[in-house]
Amino acid sequence: MLSLLVLASAYSFTSAIEIPGSGSAWRLQLGTAPGIEEVEGPGGTNELDEDGGFTLEVAYMMKSIGESNLGYVWGPSLFLRQHSADLGSGVSGDYTAFGVGLKGGLSYHINQAFSLEAKPFVDVGFGDISLSDDDTTVTFTDTDASVYVAYGLLVGAFYDLGRYEIGLELGYQEFDGEVDVTSADETLNYTGGGASIIASFGSSF
């Protein structure tokens, strides 16, 4: 009889943490981004002193949860991102990009509120370069915005507060941003990569 009670209790506990279902969430995400490490042009490649950056995203994430509490999470996003480099003498270069992204991967729900996610992502858009010092910011008039591509991996934890959710993600990202120099009929490539940390605030339903 005792063994039957133990088995029944174990089954009840296991069933209680099974969370099959699906849902979605709007997420506002703000965090860091890697800086510019190199610029490549017709004259060769120059290494730069990377100076970090930031990322701002709005994402719509859809979630599907299986009976084992392991599921999928995926969705599109809109992003605004800046990668910077210290050029010396108080001057910094900022590559600013905007565009759309797609991310998707696995999620694991520890309980009704707490979940873990691991998601590869890719972002595509356009970007341009500007220089700034302590007093002014200059956007080059002889450059045109060109293609920007970024990709990487995000691993994070999320806590569901009911209608809302909060989360924190750690990631790694590589990026390649082009700029067309119209006066010289050439293209410059700004590249870099590194770790990022992103805070997420969302509304789930």
* Model confidence, pTM: 0.83
List residues bridging with 107 in a β-sheet: 71, 117
How far apart, in whole angstroms, are the C-alpha atoms of residue 44 and residue 33?
A: 25
Pairing of strands 114-132, 137-139: antiparallel
pLDDT per residue rounded down to tens, the chain (205 residues): 434 333 344 333 333 444 546 889 999 999 999 999 999 988 899 899 999 999 999 999 999 988 789 999 999 999 999 999 988 777 888 999 999 999 999 999 999 899 999 999 999 999 999 888 766 665 555 678 899 999 999 999 999 998 999 999 999 999 999 999 877 778 999 999 999 999 999 998 8
Q: What is the DSSP letter of 140?
A: -
Q: What is the DSSP string of 6-23?
A: HHHHHHHHHHHH---EEE
